[in-house]
Structure 1
Amino acid sequence: MNDSPFDTVCTILRTTLDMTDQDPIEPGTVLETLPNADSLRLLRTISALERKYDIELDDADIFKARTVADLTDIITKAMTTQVAPSAPRGLTGK
């Protein structure tokens, strides 16, 4: 079973911010208040999410995200609006 985008965001936040499973993360949690959160670690979080979902997030959207729910919404929107690049010609068998 696949994790929800919220669960994946939480997992990646825990990893990039060196958080424990006991550190609470709720949808309304303000990103800057998470343990060990600083601008560099939050950018690493964004980069990890982009790699995980093979998406590119808009910088303006990223800087508007205040909460974990905001970040999850941005990820979900990008997943539904971005199309994976098509395979180069010759690799599709056509």
Structure 2
Amino acid sequence: MLSPVDPKKDLENNRILTLAVVKDLEIIGEAAGRITDDCRARHPQLPWLDITGMRNRLIHAYFDVNLDVVWDTITNDLTPLIKTLNRVIQQGKLKRTKPTILLITV
């Protein structure tokens, strides 16, 4: 559970929480990396390169993950990303197969 006083400190001080959040960001980036170039071109409102770039940085940085960047991403970027993805889903351009998995429809 996150502290209502300073959840960012929880991220910095709780290794299990840190690893879980970083892993989730890696998974999001891995999924984005599997999107075809054609589909990316049809949905330029989504920050594909930022998402996959963050994944690459997290995967390969090992001991040099900047938690300030992780914190900024989860507090400022995830909600707009989810809203945009939901809009695209509602337009029928993406198909949700499970609560956390999205497939692109052709």
Q: TM-score, normalised by structure 1?
A: 0.33
1 or 2, which has the higher helix percentage? 2
1 or 2, which has the higher strand percentage? 2
